[in-house]
Amino acid sequence: NNPKTKYPRQPIEKTTPRTKNNKSTRKNSVQNTTTKPTKKNKTNKDDAILVKQGKIGGQKAVVGVLDFEFMGGSMGSAVGEGIIAAAEKAIEINSALVVFTSSGGARMQEGIFSLMQLPRTIIAVNNLKDNKLPYIVVLTDPTTGGVTASFAMLGDITFAEPRALIGFAGPRVIQSTVKETLPEGFQTAEYIKNHGGIDLVVSRKDLRDTIGNLITILLKKNKIISNEATNENQEHPQQIASTAS
């Protein structure tokens, strides 16, 4: 290697010489080379989020799911857009939004663009709540980093699967920082529930019925609140008119 070059040169790959018995060419050798599968090939997805609409327990719902197999479920620009699109769709069809999280946090490969998704997703969730629509989050193993610091912990009701790891930084990082031994089960779903961080720990087999019943209750409650607010607004002009007369 020349010490003046910026990067060390790669060793030249030896090739089989062309003979009568071996007519291999560089073109053929390139075509037969097995390439390393990309993230899209492995998961058959364009990014780490999947958004669908349908019904849960007879109630309309929009569901967003993070796929940990796609770059650890990390949140980049596409995931942020997915959460925003899901919230907008829920508002459009007047339904609940249910999000299942499984993520290592913000996608650092996208730099500042990944961090911009934190406030963007929070605004999308707030718009949903302004329209009196339920927002339900199910935390699966693991849910950490920027996802925890944004839309994952803003649910009207927050569920978690048993023994799911939930936090911002990992337990080893925290322990090395505070220089203390962490409690047993620290950052597990059960530990966080006992300390008021989430509402309920639910097994996956019970999630459909639990979420369906909850959506029914929340939509009925929000409808009652909206009707009461409408009646109050209608009464005020009449009260003003009678007082003025």
> pLDDT tens string for the chain (245 positions)?
554 444 444 554 554 555 555 554 444 444 444 556 666 667 888 999 999 999 999 999 999 999 999 999 999 999 999 999 999 999 999 999 999 999 999 999 999 999 999 999 999 999 999 999 999 999 999 999 999 999 999 999 999 999 999 999 988 899 999 998 999 999 999 999 999 999 999 999 999 999 999 999 998 877 776 666 666 666 666 665 565 55
pLDDT in tens, 119-135: 999 999 999 999 999 99
Identity (one letter) of the amino acid at 167? Answer: G
Q: With beta carbons less than 8 A apart as the criterion, state whether 73 and 108 touch.
A: no
Helix (H) or strand (E) holding 52: strand 49-56
Query: Going by C-beta distance under 8 Å and a sequence separation of 6 or more, which residues neighbour residue 76?
Result: 47, 48, 106, 107, 109, 110, 113, 114, 117
pLDDT score recorded for residue 151 = 98
CA 68 to chain centre: 10
CA distances from 60 to 49, 124, 138, 167 (A): 20, 19, 17, 30
pLDDT in tens, 231-244: 666 666 666 556 55
Can you read off the two tokens belonging to residue 188?
């597990």
